[in-house]
Chains A and B, each alone.
Chain A
């Protein structure tokens, strides 16, 4: 359980401005195993929210609840509330496909489709009904520009995306997610498979993108969380132990367990 004073703190933050995501008392079960325990969190628009914690703590699971990618996991049950701009995304009438259009996701391992760079970016818009070649061309270019990879790829649009380096593939995947014009970008350890230079580029990109998007990033890399995020949430065994401004969480954690994890005493 989260200590009452902490929960209060979260509520106050949430009320200051309308949050992008408002999560309340979220429980999640895989079969009989409880992976998330009464998580409360407000995720603000145009901020980077980092989720940290040891492996298996539930941070990736939590991320997946935000675009309902956990739906495809058999035996996964949920209770509690997840609101996006005030609308419960687990309510009956919610169109999951439209939700996932609004809430894009970038995976741990770059997963471009085995097709050309162009077709990778155009896939999303085509899925949602864009047919005109000129419009698709525009989307491809603007998405690649936003992902800061246009200059590298503009001459290779027709080449297979699988021939790109890991870092390029990951930025391509970010561009692919941006092509459907989402509000939110979820990133599940997006740099864990990349070298430091590519990692730097992705971090820079995230900073740039937060002007227009809400970004939630799961990371194993504490320095990364400290470097790029505005808010940090620390998960442990399915509980959100601490959530607040990144500076506070890293410099003056309220919880002993947070401090222990951040200073490397366990995890």
Chain B
């Protein structure tokens, strides 16, 4: 065997091992979560676990229903998307098609910085700025679905902006020119031609943002109120699945602990579903 052939084989082995370790990690996490949660769910009952809104591990008999947390995650996620997506898409359109070059040179790094800010800083910002604003203007404690939605809406901006902007930039010029040649204005060409043309990339950006919101923990736990009761309004506090786990895992034992790991499993299924959605969107985009 020549030296270069040996080198090639060696590198192949290195790559194979790296890939194997990576895949193993995913498998181990899956197995761990589901192995720990299946017995717990079996004991509680799947229906009871998912749909009961009663979470009282200290009662006798204890009840372990995470319905409220699922609702909380859904509300906060929806709220963050309602706030973050329109702003993000408009920003993406601005950055890709309106922004003068000198301003772009400032704005692009700013969105990158926004992406790099640790989530605890976002949480602190939410506690110190957004929560008092909500409390003073709308009442309540300030720690609420609305507060979390606003902060998370800001947190997903870099993702939505970045992915949508590159989707717009990746379009060939011909769509824009074609629209203009038909007498369309710049606005019409961007929003009625280029946006639909880039829809798979734009949808991907939204779903990536969605994934970020569903999985976000630290910022949420600081501002969402963490009440285990079903919310009556956007000004009520809720618990998301992530904040639920982080709040109680430290001291939970036995079935209580099992129920929290099972919550992680539910979260895992959510994220899995979101990833499948992204794959489906990409595939559909390619088929076009």
Q: Which residues of A contact B (CB under 8 A)?
A: 67, 69, 72, 97-101, 104-105, 107, 109, 111-115, 123-124, 127-128, 160, 162, 173, 176-177, 180
Contacts and interface: CB of A to CB of B under 8 A. Distances in A.
Q: Top 6 closest A-B pairs, CB basis?
A: A101-B183, A111-B174, A105-B181, A124-B182, A100-B183, A111-B178
Contact of A113 (B180, B183, B188, B193): B193
Nearest to A102: B183
17 contacts: A72-B177, A72-B180, A100-B181, A101-B183, A104-B182, A109-B174, A123-B192, A124-B183, A127-B179, A127-B182, A127-B188, A127-B192, A160-B288, A173-B178, A176-B178, A176-B182, A177-B181
Contacts of B196: 113-115
Contacts of A176: 178, 182
Interface of B: 172, 174-175, 177-185, 188, 192-193, 196-197, 288
Contacts of B184: 97, 123-124, 127
Contacts of B179: 113, 123, 127
A44 B71 CA distance: 70
Contacts of B180: 69, 72, 100
A156 to B, nearest CB: 16
Contacts of B172: 111
Contacts of B193: 113, 123
A72 B17 CA distance: 52
Contacts of B175: 111, 113-114
A67 B182 contact: no
Majority DSSP secondary structure for residues of B touching A: helix
A166 to B, nearest CB: 14
A75 to B, nearest CB: 13
Contacts of A112: 178
A171 to B, nearest CB: 15
A31 B197 CA distance: 32
A71 to B, nearest CB: 9
A239 to B, nearest CB: 26
Nearest to A176: B182
Contacts of A128: 183
A114 B197 contact: yes
A42 B183 CA distance: 24
Contact of A180 (B178, B182, B192, B288): B182
A106 to B, nearest CB: 8
A214 to B, nearest CB: 16
Nearest to B188: A127
A128 B183 CA distance: 8
Contacts of B182: 100-101, 104, 123-124, 127, 176-177, 180
Contacts of B181: 67, 69, 100, 104-105, 107, 177
Contacts of A72: 177, 180
A97 B179 CA distance: 10
Contacts of A97: 183-185
B7 to A, nearest CB: 45
Nearest to B193: A113
Interface centre among B175, B180, B188 (most CB of A within 10 A): B180
Most buried by B among A72, A113, A162: A113
B188 A69 contact: no
Contacts of B183: 97-101, 124, 127-128, 180
Contacts of B177: 69, 72, 107, 111
Nearest to A126: B192
B134 to A, nearest CB: 41
A168 to B, nearest CB: 16
A103 to B, nearest CB: 9
B279 to A, nearest CB: 20
Contacts of A101: 182-183
A97, A160, A180: residue with the most chain B Cβ atoms closer than 10 Å: A97
Nearest to B184: A127
A220 B175 CA distance: 24
A104 B197 CA distance: 22
A67 B193 CA distance: 20
B174 to A, nearest CB: 4
Nearest to B186: A72
B288 A107 contact: no
A98 B185 CA distance: 10
Given A67-B181, A114-B197, A128-B183, 16 more contacts: A97-B184, A99-B183, A100-B180, A100-B181, A100-B183, A101-B183, A105-B181, A107-B174, A113-B175, A127-B179, A127-B182, A127-B188, A162-B288, A176-B182, A177-B181, A180-B182
Contacts of A109: 174
B244 to A, nearest CB: 43
A69 B172 CA distance: 16
A104 B177 CA distance: 12
